A and B are shown apart, each in its own frame.
Chain A
Amino acid sequence: GESVGLHLPTLSVQEGDNSIINCAYSNSASDYFIWYKQESGKGPQFIIDIRSNMDKRQGQRVTVLLNKTVKHLSLQIAATQPGDSAVYFCAENIPGNQFYFGTGTSLTVIP
């Protein structure tokens, strides 16, 4: 079956530093990936997505990198702020199939 996992379950960073959250996936047929942010008591919130025909996509203060060779996805957050503290999930999708979510990484920003 599919496996979407994160290398680090917890991450603490100083405010203003950059954060990198990693995710591994196992199914080479996955062609769409999404990063979600989930704050306590809330549903996951879409951050950024990327399709398999790209290896990098940038948003506002966030960048997603996709390395299909090693089936690795990362989320980079620039100038991390206290409001970025949350659990971050990656999700993968195979066309016509469901989305699979990883366990999540808890990001704590230290003021």
Chain B
Amino acid sequence: GAGVSQTPSNKVTEKGKYVELRCDPISGHTALYWYRQSLGQGPEFLIYFQGTGAADDSGLPNDRFFAVRPEGSVSTLKIQRTERGDSAVYLCASSLKPSGTQYFGPGTRLTVL
């Protein structure tokens, strides 16, 4: 079966621009997570969805970051007024239920010039 997919795989943008990163979870998985991973570090939690609602968004660094999951499946992470410090790999994971085993996508590498 298909795993978690993320698009695009790479995104290069200029400082100040707006970007959207997409995540397609495993079919039937109700929980969806976004993480950010910098070089040499472990994934850092950003936000977690249970169904359509954001159950925990405590990891979002500031109000430039926003995520949605309108139909409880695909999710989009949106970053406004990008900064060079936003450059990282953005990972998405899904699990069948909350606190269940998370399965990760390949990530989107975001580079802000």
Contacts and interface: CB of A to CB of B under 8 A. Distances in A.
A42 B101 contact: no
Contact of A34 (B35, B44, B101): B101
A104 B42 contact: yes
B36 to A, nearest CB: 11
Interface residues of A, number: 24
B105 interface: yes
A89 interface: yes
Size category of the B interface is: 20 to 34
Given A43-B91, A44-B91, A104-B41, A32 B99 contact: yes
Interface stretch (A53-61, A73-81, A95-103): A95-103
B45 interface: yes
Contacts of A99: 33, 45, 102
A100 B56 CA distance: 14
A36 B4 CA distance: 16
A104 B44 CA distance: 12
B41 A43 contact: no
Given A44-B43, A102-B42, A95 B104 contact: no
A98 B42 CA distance: 14
B25 interface: no
B48 A98 contact: yes
Interface of B: 4, 33, 35, 40-45, 48, 56, 58-59, 91, 93, 98-99, 101-107
